[in-house]
Structure 1
Amino acid sequence: MAAEKIASTMGYLVRALKTPTIGRVCESLADQARDEAWSHEEYLTAVLQRQVADREANGTSLRIAGAHFPQVKTLEDFTLDHQPSLRRDVLAHLATTTFVAKAENVVLHGPPGVGKTHLAIGLGVKAAQAGYPVFFDTATGWVARLGAAHAAGRLDAELKRLRRYRLLLIDEVGYLPFDADAANLFFQLVASRYEQGSILVTSNMPFGRWGEIFSDDIVAAAMIDRLVHHAEVLSLSGESYRTRARRDLIAATNAGNGN
Structure 2
Amino acid sequence: ASGARQRIKHAAFPALKTLEDFDWSVQPAAEKPLLLHLAQLAWIEERANVCFFGPPGTGKTHLAIALALKACQHGSRVAFATAQEWVSRLEQAQDRNQLEHELRRLERYHLLVVDEVGYLPLERQAANLLFALVSRRYERGSIAVTSNRGFEQWGEILGDAMVAAALIDRLVHHATMITLKGKSYRLRERGTGIAPSAQAPSLRDSA
TM-score, length of structure 2 as denominator length: 0.91
Question: Secondary structure at the residue paired with 1:75?
Answer: coil
Whole-angstrom CA distance in 2 between matches of 1:125 and 1:75: 10
In the alignment of these two chains, the number of paired residues is 192
1:122 alignment partner in structure 2? 66
Whole-angstrom CA distance in 2 between matches of 1:92 and 1:221: 30
Whole-angstrom CA distance in 2 between matches of 1:211 and 1:89: 32
1:24 alignment partner in structure 2? none
Correspondence for 2:6 among 62, 70, 76: 62
Q: Establish whether residue 171 from structure 1 lines up as the match of residue 80 from structure 2.
A: no
1:78 alignment partner in structure 2? 22
Correspondence for 2:178 among 220, 223, 234: 234
Task: Quote the offset at 1:89 in angstroms.
Answer: 2.2
More helix, by proportion: 1
User: Which residue identity lines up with residue 58 of structure 1 in the other structure?
Assistant: S
Correspondence for 1:201 among 145, 151, 173: 145
Correspondence for 2:135 among 191, 195, 198: 191
Whole-angstrom CA distance in 2 between matches of 1:154 and 1:195: 23
2:51 alignment partner in structure 1? 107
Matches within 5 A, 1:122-161: 122-161=66-105
2:161 alignment partner in structure 1? 217
Summarize deviations over 1:43-98 as a string: whole Å, max 9, x none: xxxxxxxxxxxxxx111101000100011111111011111122222211110011
1:19 alignment partner in structure 2? none
* Relative contact order, higher structure (CA 8 A, sep 6+): 2
Whole-angstrom CA distance in 2 between matches of 1:206 and 1:143: 20
Query: Which of the pair has more CA radius of gyration?
Result: 1
Aligned residues: percent identity? 54
Whole-angstrom CA distance in 1 between matches of 2:35 and 2:172: 17
User: Which residue identity lines up with residue 127 of structure 2 in the other structure?
Assistant: A
Whole-angstrom CA distance in 1 between matches of 2:13 and 2:120: 20
Of stretches 116-125 and 79-88 in structure 1, the one that deviates more from structure 2 is 79-88
Summarize deviations over 1:157-192 as a string: whole Å, max 9, x none: 000000111000000000100011000000000000
Matches within 5 A, 1:34-45: none
Whole-angstrom CA distance in 1 between matches of 2:92 and 2:41: 31
User: Which residue identity lines up with residue 222 of structure 1 in the other structure?
Assistant: A
Runs of 5+ consecutive residues of structure 1 not aligned to the other structure = 1-56, 249-259
Whole-angstrom CA distance in 1 between matches of 2:166 and 2:26: 34
User: Which residue identity lines up with residue 82 of structure 2 in the other structure?
Assistant: T
Name segments (4+ residues, structure 1) moved above 3 Å.
Answer: none
Runs of 5+ consecutive residues of structure 2 not aligned to the other structure = 193-207
Whole-angstrom CA distance in 2 between matches of 1:247 and 1:80: 18
Task: Quote the offset at 1:242 in angstroms.
Answer: 1.8
Whole-angstrom CA distance in 2 between matches of 1:111 and 1:74: 20
1:89 alignment partner in structure 2? 33
Question: Secondary structure at the residue paired with 1:125?
Answer: helix
Q: CA RMSD in A?
A: 0.8
